[in-house]
Amino acid sequence: MKVLGIVSEARDLNQFASFIKCIPATQSISKHIKGYSFGELKEAKLVSLGRMEVLGIVSEARELSQAHTAPVMDHSPPFLATYKSLFDGQQAIDTDTEVVECCDLPLIDLSRLNDVLEAAQCKQDIVTAASEWGFFQIVSHGIPDGLLARLREEQVQMFRQPFKQKTSEKLLDFDDDSYRWGTPTATSLKHLSWSEAYHIPLSSSNKPATSSTIRCVIEELSLAMTQLANQLVDTLAEGLGRDGTYMKENCTRNMCYLRLNRYPPCPIPAQVFGLVPHTDSDFLTILCQDEVIGLQLKKGGRWFTVRPNPNTLVINIGDLFQAWSNGLYKSVEHRVMSNPHLERFSVAYFMCPSNETVIESSAQPGTYRKFSFGEYRQQVQQDVRRMGHKVGLTRLRHHFHLCSPAPLPTPFFFLLQTKKSLFLHMAASPVTAVWNARTSHASFYLPPVGLQVDERESPTVPQPSTAAPDTTAFYAQDSGEEASTTQLAADRMIQPRDAIYAADDVELRQTKRAARSSSTIPDWRGRRCKPGKQLPFSPHCLQLMVLKQQLVRQLMEVCRHLYRITLGRTRLMVWTCRLKPMAATPRVLDRMLGRRSYVIASQQPSPARSKQALDLHGLCSAAQVPTIMQLTGQIATEIGLQGSGGRSSCQRPVALDFWKQSRTPRKELSMEKGLVRLIFVACIYFGLSHFKIGGSI
Ligand SMILES: O=C(O)CCC(=O)C(=O)O
Ligand SMILES: [Fe+2]
């Protein structure tokens, strides 16, 4: 039996059965549910149906039963009458051509945090979900089901009051304007939210208690939510190598908000959203939604419908956390679709700081400038008034291309393959990149794949270039989304000619096959040459093929972050010394980099070397050394390396036996190890939150 694919709030078959009983036997429902008579529906109870199907029918049944039994009460806001002018000549919101898939959010069981063996992994899962999705769902969250159910009951009752009463009467002694509906600023249908809400500042929840149930429930819930939010914030801050105290101190319970949402059935769902696409302007949101489908989020440029999971709470990262984490945690755009048949309820708890709280990125220079919450809030309100929508964090981005010309050239990222290895480099030119690879290793090593580069062409030591940057290259979109190769190329975060050419296995195999079957292949100048002949070095050779799309994505993510910090005119060079004669001795580095680049990890801690490395560590702020050491040590342990790093009290340099790995026969270097190295670099980067990084070649 095919049903409409709508999930209702009916929790089980018993509830379903009671709905069915509500429908008078004479009622024909065929005009409501395509092709099914009431008789058939009744039988549906008896046949074994998938739960979704049953719930689908119930949804309809419930509406019918409500329509039939409840006196007509005008509790829904007069959307059609009020926004009438917006409907004339309006197109459907352009979502109907989109294929929106359903997704399950990463599910995290918070009880694992109390298990010694599981806690670290659980924290990591939270950090990963916040970085990759910006959304996740939690179970064992400590908020009693009964409390949530009581709140839902009260919420339904509040919204069931006649519309006039909702607009004219103050809700208990909460703020006057706590009731909202529609979108007062809407100038087009796509700005209109087909929903109503009570927006309740929790500062008012601890006013002299009344005996009202709703006040008691809100009071109780807000305490539990605050506790939960603090727990999550601690974990997320820890993931950034920071401490959650700042956030907890600034986001006290009375700064936070509770929002009770109701999405009434909407007769024109193709033309209007339940809640327009937005990001939340807070640090963190805890959402309790019912079983009616509607919430959607944007991931990788596509919208996904979040499958409701009645036993979980949904957590999403807000703008402030994205800024504070310098873009590591994503404040993801989301929206609620309106539903022609069903009403939907949700409750959101917004973790907000006081207006005076200053939000500063965890990395300096950060992607976003320093701002206060009050300032941000005002800007958002102003944008909504003027443009009908929020601009959000993009306003706070450093747009360096608008600043005075940079004295340094635009940095490039290179995936460079020598005969021996493949490296990710950031350098001023391909020549520099090759030179880096030959002398010391910037960044990290990847398993070699794709084209070969002839190293015979020996580049000279490059001089710092004074050329003005290509300003377009500084353009970076604040999508907060997963980076894709094309997106990055489109954003010009990487110059097209230096973009990494991503190919999946199939494409690579085809290229190789074509090369084998042809007697000649074109070199980078387009001249034919024998396959197997090493191609002369060229910028084209840098467009290497990388086997796994996934690897590329990770790589891009790292590039993106590396790129971001270059926006502040400083460059990050993550060096690991090889200590080969001409390579990374401090003297050579100084000469080469003009003391603008620092060694942050070195090789074995032989006494001489550790002295050297200590000196180099001395270039960063002393306070940062333990953090860096701790981070690199953690990673070292993860990779399974024996290093002396990781002891924060240790005054010795981080000693990752990093190069031992790259000397292992190439075949043994798995993709995973490549990934671990990527993560290694990313971690070093994130760990360097206050580290003044500099240097360019
Ligand atoms: O109702 C929902 O599922 C989402 C609500 C929401 O995004 C909000 O209130 O900011
Ligand atoms: Fe939201």
- d(CA 215, ligand 2 centre) in Å: 23
Rounded mean pLDDT of 315-319?
A: 97
Helix axes of 119-132 and 213-238: crossing angle, nearest 10 degrees: 100
Residue labelled with tokens 């419930």: 62
Q: Which atom of ligand 1 is nearest to the CA of 285?
A: 10
Residues 541, 545, 550, 556, Cα dihedral to 10°: 20
Q: What percent of the chain has pLDDT over 70?
A: 42
Residues 6 or more apart in contact with residue 672 via CB below 8 angstroms: none
- d(CA 85, ligand 2 centre) in Å: 27
DSSP string, 175-229: -GGGEEES-TT-SSGGG-B--EEEEEEGGGTTSS--S-HHHHHHHHHHHHHHHHH
Model pLDDT, residue 667: 32
For the Cβ of 295 lying below 6 angstroms from any atom of ligand 1, the answer is: yes
Residue labelled with tokens 């019912």: 290
At residue 374, what are phi and psi to the nearest 5 degrees? -60, -45
User: How far apart are the C-alpha atoms of 696 and 467, rounded to whole Å?
Assistant: 13
User: How far apart are the C-alpha atoms of 13 and 533, rounded to whole Å?
Assistant: 71
Q: Identify the residue whose C-alpha is closest to ligand 1 atom 9.
A: 348
Tokens of 406: 């940079």
Strand ranges (E), 188-331:
196-201, 257-263, 273-278, 284-289, 295-299, 302-306, 313-317
Catalytic, 344? Answer yes
User: How far apart are the C-alpha atoms of 508 and 513, rounded to whole Å?
Assistant: 9
Q: Is the pLDDT of residue 281 over 90?
A: yes
- d(CA 401, ligand 2 centre) in Å: 32
Tokens of 498: 């230096």
Q: Whose atoms come closest to the Cα of 105: which ligand? A: 1
Q: Is the pLDDT of residue 506 over 70?
A: no
Give tens-digit pLDDT for 515-545. Answer: 556 555 444 334 455 544 333 323 322 232 2
**Higher pLDDT among residues 381 and 368, named by residue:** 381
Distances (CA, A) of 266 to 197, 262, 291, 364, 573: 16, 12, 17, 47, 55
Work out the number of other CB atoms within 10 angstroms of the CB of residue 210: 11
Sheet with 273-278: strands ordered across: 101-103, 302-306, 295-299, 334-337, 273-278
* pLDDT class of 27 with cuts at 50, 70, 90: very low
- d(CA 278, ligand 2 centre) in Å: 6
If phi over 0 gives left and psi between -120 and 50 gives alpha, with beta otherwise, what is residue 594? left
Task: Note whether 79 and 275 are within 8 A (CB).
Answer: no
* pLDDT class of 273 with cuts at 50, 70, 90: very high
Q: What angle do CA 649, 652, 657 make, to 5 degrees?
A: 115
DSSP string, 445-499: EE---S------S-PPPPPPP-PPP-GGGG------S---HHHHHHHTSS-GGG-
Q: Identify the residue whose C-alpha is closest to ligand 1 atom 6.
A: 348
User: How far apart are the C-alpha atoms of 690 and 624, rounded to whole Å?
Assistant: 7
Q: Is the pLDDT of residue 112 over 80?
A: yes
Q: What is the pTM of this model?
A: 0.54
**Higher pLDDT among residues 648 and 151, named by residue:** 151
Q: Identify the residue whose C-alpha is closest to ligand 1 atom 3.
A: 295
Strand partners, 235: none
Q: Please provide the distance, in angstroms rounded to a whole number, between the alpha carbons at the two ends of the chain.
A: 68
Most confident of 37-51, 133-147, 560-574: 133-147
CA 99 to chain centre: 21
Nearest Cα to 485, choosing from 476, 496, 477, 469? 496
Residue labelled with tokens 């927006």: 199
Most confident of 68-77, 497-506, 590-599: 68-77
- d(CA 466, ligand 2 centre) in Å: 46
User: How far apart are the C-alpha atoms of 506 and 548, rounded to whole Å?
Assistant: 10
**Higher pLDDT among residues 351 and 543, named by residue:** 351
Single-letter amino acid, residue 221? L
User: How far apart are the C-alpha atoms of 359 and 372, rounded to whole Å?
Assistant: 6
For the Cβ of 335 lying below 6 angstroms from any atom of ligand 1, the answer is: no
- d(CA 107, ligand 1 centre) in Å: 19
* pLDDT class of 94 with cuts at 50, 70, 90: low
Give tens-digit pLDDT for 217-258. Answer: 998 999 999 999 999 999 999 988 888 899 889 998 889 999
To test the ligand 1 pocket, which listed residue (152, 285, 343) has its Cβ within 8 A of the most ligand atoms?
285
Rounded mean pLDDT of 466-473?
A: 26
Element (H, E) at 615: helix 607-617
Q: Identify the residue whose C-alpha is closest to ligand 1 atom 10.
A: 280
**Mean of pLDDT over the chain:** 59
Q: Check residue 368 and report its DSSP letter.
A: B
Model pLDDT, residue 188: 80
Model pLDDT, residue 74: 79
Model pLDDT, residue 338: 93
For the Cβ of 431 lying below 6 angstroms from any atom of ligand 1, the answer is: no
Give tens-digit pLDDT for 408-443. Answer: 223 334 444 333 334 444 443 333 444 444 433 333
Strand partners, 441: 576
* pLDDT class of 185 with cuts at 50, 70, 90: confident
Q: Is the pLDDT of residue 659 over 50?
A: no
For the Cβ of 346 lying below 6 angstroms from any atom of ligand 1, the answer is: yes
Catalytic annotation, pick one of 344, 560, 564, 571: 344
Task: Note whether 583 and 438 are within 8 A (CB).
Answer: no
Give tens-digit pLDDT for 600-624. Answer: 333 333 344 333 332 222 223 344 4
Q: Is the pLDDT of residue 319 over 90?
A: yes
Task: Note whether 409 and 428 are within 8 A (CB).
Answer: yes
Model pLDDT, residue 207: 57
To test the ligand 1 pocket, which listed residue (262, 346, 380, 390) has its Cβ within 8 A of the most ligand atoms?
346
CA 459 to chain centre: 40
Q: What is the CB-side half-sphere exposure of residue 684 using CA atoms within 13 A?
A: 27
Tokens of 78: 């007069």
Tokens of 101: 């898939």
Range with the poorest average pLDDT among 214-228, 352-366, 450-464, 522-536? 450-464
To test the ligand 1 pocket, which listed residue (7, 200, 260, 287) has its Cβ within 8 A of the most ligand atoms?
287
Q: Whose atoms come closest to the Cα of 294: which ligand? A: 1
To test the ligand 1 pocket, which listed residue (105, 199, 261) has its Cβ within 8 A of the most ligand atoms?
261
For the Cβ of 348 lying below 6 angstroms from any atom of ligand 1, the answer is: yes
Q: Which atom of ligand 1 is nearest to the CA of 289?
A: 3
* pLDDT class of 114 with cuts at 50, 70, 90: very high
Residues 6 or more apart in contact with residue 608 via CB below 8 angstroms: none
**Higher pLDDT among residues 392 and 42, named by residue:** 392
173-185 core/surface letters (b: 16 or more CB in 10 A; e: else): ebeeebbbbbbee
Interface ipTM above 0.90: yes
Model pLDDT, residue 336: 97
For the Cβ of 334 lying below 6 angstroms from any atom of ligand 1, the answer is: yes
**Higher pLDDT among residues 166 and 408, named by residue:** 166
